[in-house]
Structure 1
Amino acid sequence: MSNTHADRSQGELNLEIEDMGLESPEVIQTSLAAAMTLGLKGGIFYRNAKLTCLNLLLTYQGGCQGRCGYCGLEQKRSEKTKGTTFIRVAWPTYSFDLILERTKHYQNSLKRICLSMITHKSAMEDSLKLIARLHREVNLPISVLCAPTLIHKTEDLQKLKDAGADQLGVSIDAATPEIFQKYRGKGVRGPHQWEHYWEILRKGVDVFGSGKVSVHLIVGLGESEQEMVTAFQQVHELGAVVHLFSFYPEPGSAMAEETAPSLGQYRRMQLARYLIMNDISSAQTMGFNSSGQVCNFGIVVEAFVASGQPFRTSGCPGRDGETACNRPYGNERPGITLANYPFVPNLQDVEKIRGELYAGLMEGVG
């Protein structure tokens, strides 16, 4: 059971903000898991998982100016579904003062705060204000998931760091320029540009330092496994870290009718990411079949599979060096099959993972 039943008398009050024309920085969205952890929503986490990073999302009446085909914030969604979910789960809106008050109260159960920008003209200025206030009033490290389309100068990144962020996130999402263009750029008449995102990634590493910048990549947007592994290697060689997500068809989005990647595909990408990020193997030493699937990882992988570590949620660390942003059930509904494990997989989990790892290969393992 999580700590979500604490302060139940307050938690049962309707503290969620309805649509009253309020915007950030006065109000902020937070994930359902975070609202539960802060005692603002009731419930318990499956298998006693604990959320250890407070995820916050800027919100505006005009919404996000991006038009990403897979995103829950995409502008063209129907009024019934727009803004109700983002990366699968609900993101209720609260006053920022309330979130700050609750964060101070529950900060001993948290390891990090992550503030996510959206593509909106006010997002950069508001992020600086909120990061500075969080840094001043809460004793937790802060990540900022930036909106690269709003950032044009190295000085902008330096301002985010000076305000109090110690980690920068860049959501490139797509493994190839063609897929990026299709779902984030001209293909959806969106404002985002592949080259600019990678430029901000490189500048981010210069400002925040090696290992202090993360890149979000989404498995299942149409890329081959070899293309995704190549992207892992490119990110690693720049001094950044990959945080991996499994595509989820958001209701109301342009990709609502698409299917999520197979579990075998996602398991192979999790393992490949782990091996590359930890300098255990590389894209150059891995083997791929004619379908672009990983058929060997360049080394014997059983010890890594047995540890379960490659299959845990990848996210920014806390001060203890362990993953803080563990996003329980952000990729799938709680149940028997988990894409990202928000805890260390047990022996039964590992046995299940072994059976999933090579499922769906068009050709045998080499």
Structure 2
Amino acid sequence: MADLFIDNERVSGRLEPAVLHCPRQAYITVSGACIFRCRYCPVPGIPGRRKEVEEIVRMVESVADRIDAIAITSGVASSIEEEEKYVLDVVAALLPFGLPIGVSIYPGPKTPARLHALGVAEVKFNIEAATPALFCEMCPGLSWEAVWEALRQSVVLFGRGRVFSNVIVGLGETDADLDRVIEDLAGIGVIPILRPLTPAASLADRPRPAGDRLLRLYEVHERVLRQAGLDPGRALTMCSACTGCDLVPGRDA
């Protein structure tokens, strides 16, 4: 148990231990390096490595009695196609654990179908920025429309509410831009995840979004998801099931 004091108000709760990166999940990064250079991301400047499939299996084995789900994410070590193939091998090796698996990677044209055929429960393909112009500026060499197409395919395969997408708050967008993209994602059955900018890489001098802005966006986020019949509180894997980094409608009051 733990007590948190905010403006002299005492809030009692329980500290949830992280298992592998987050509570009740093995959330594992496969390739800790990336050939792309998104302006907000520090990964390309870090000498990251790729975990072996057997290593990942051992990691999950070590916490199997303390998790309800497995989540897999990855950079792009050499190419989008090669990364997809490697992650598919990882997923195949994790299926015997009998736990729901969520996957978040940069998608190729057939990525949603291949993940679905393996039995993946949920996917997260990130549009990252609230507008195509910002995406082009922030993620050179990647395709805004390719991610949207992967999201549309995924809703058909995995179902409404089982597909997610990060949207970073603080890249230079307006609140109207964010309201619009929240509605656009929810409108096709995708749950947006609003991710406040962590100043890093070439955006290290940018401020983190103010708390009052995030709370206003949360109200819009909650309302749009409710009207669309989407509930992040039902997520089985990944960010919406964790809530460690972001405000999540359906889980956070």
* TM > 0.5 fold call: yes
Within 5 Å, give how 1:313-332 maps onto structure 2: 317-318=235-236, 323-326=240-243, 328=244, 330=245
Count of residues in correspondence between the two structures: 234
Within 5 Å, give how 1:49-128 maps onto structure 2: 51-59=23-31, 63-73=33-43, 75=44, 77=45, 82=46, 96-119=53-76, 120-121=78-79, 122-128=82-88
Provide structure 2 residue ranges, at least 5 long, that are not aligned to the other structure.
Answer: 2-15
Provide structure 1 residue ranges, at least 5 long, that are not aligned to the other structure.
Answer: 2-32, 42-49, 85-91, 185-189, 282-309, 331-338, 351-366
CA distance in 2, matches of 1:170, 1:226: 22
TM-aligned CA deviation for residue 134 of structure 1: 0.8
TM-aligned CA deviation for residue 230 of structure 1: 0.7
CA distance in 2, matches of 1:96, 1:271: 41
Which protein is richer in helix relative to its size?
A: 2
Superposition TM-score, scaled by structure 1 size: 0.57
TM-aligned CA deviation for residue 83 of structure 1: 5.0
Counterpart for residue 21 of structure 1: none
Q: CA 1:178–1:237 in 2, change beyond 3 Å: closer, same or farther?
A: same
TM-aligned CA deviation for residue 105 of structure 1: 4.2
Q: Is 1:277 aligned to residue 225 of structure 2?
A: yes
Partner of residue 125 from structure 2, selected from 170, 176, 179: 170
Q: Is 1:37 aligned to residue 7 of structure 2?
A: no
Counterpart for residue 13 of structure 2: none
CA contact (8 A) 1:117 1:124 kept: no
Residue identity over aligned pairs, in percent, reads 22
CA contact (8 A) 1:56 1:116 kept: yes
CA contact (8 A) 1:167 1:316 kept: no
Larger Rg: 1
Q: Is 1:143 aligned to residue 102 of structure 2?
A: yes
Q: CA 1:93–1:67 in 2, change beyond 3 Å: closer, same or farther?
A: closer
SS at 1:162 equivalent: helix
**Per-residue CA distance 1:218-273 (angstroms, 9 max, x = gap):** 111111111101101000111111122111012xx111111111111111112211
CA distance in 2, matches of 1:96, 1:196: 28
Partner of residue 157 from structure 2, selected from 207, 221, 224: 207
CA distance in 1, matches of 2:36, 2:241: 28
Within 5 Å, give how 1:236-251 maps onto structure 2: 236-250=186-200
CA contact (8 A) 2:73 2:103 kept: yes
CA contact (8 A) 2:233 2:251 kept: no
Q: CA 1:142–1:64 in 2, change beyond 3 Å: closer, same or farther?
A: same
CA contact (8 A) 1:143 1:316 kept: no
Counterpart for residue 5 of structure 2: none
CA distance in 1, matches of 2:153, 2:219: 28
CA contact (8 A) 2:70 2:101 kept: yes
CA distance in 1, matches of 2:19, 2:202: 31
Q: CA 1:113–1:266 in 2, change beyond 3 Å: closer, same or farther?
A: same
CA RMSD of superposed structures (Å): 3.3
CA distance in 1, matches of 2:53, 2:170: 34
TM-aligned CA deviation for residue 102 of structure 1: 4.2
CA contact (8 A) 1:173 1:218 kept: yes
**Per-residue CA distance 1:46-72 (angstroms, 9 max, x = gap):** xxxx61232211226xx3121100012
CA distance in 1, matches of 2:141, 2:194: 23
CA distance in 2, matches of 1:197, 1:72: 21
CA contact (8 A) 2:182 2:192 kept: yes
Q: Is 1:258 aligned to residue 245 of structure 2?
A: no
CA distance in 2, matches of 1:133, 1:219: 35
Superposition TM-score, scaled by structure 2 size: 0.80
CA contact (8 A) 2:68 2:100 kept: yes
CA contact (8 A) 1:169 1:213 kept: yes
Within 5 Å, give how 1:172-251 maps onto structure 2: 172-184=127-139, 190-250=140-200
CA contact (8 A) 2:68 2:99 kept: yes
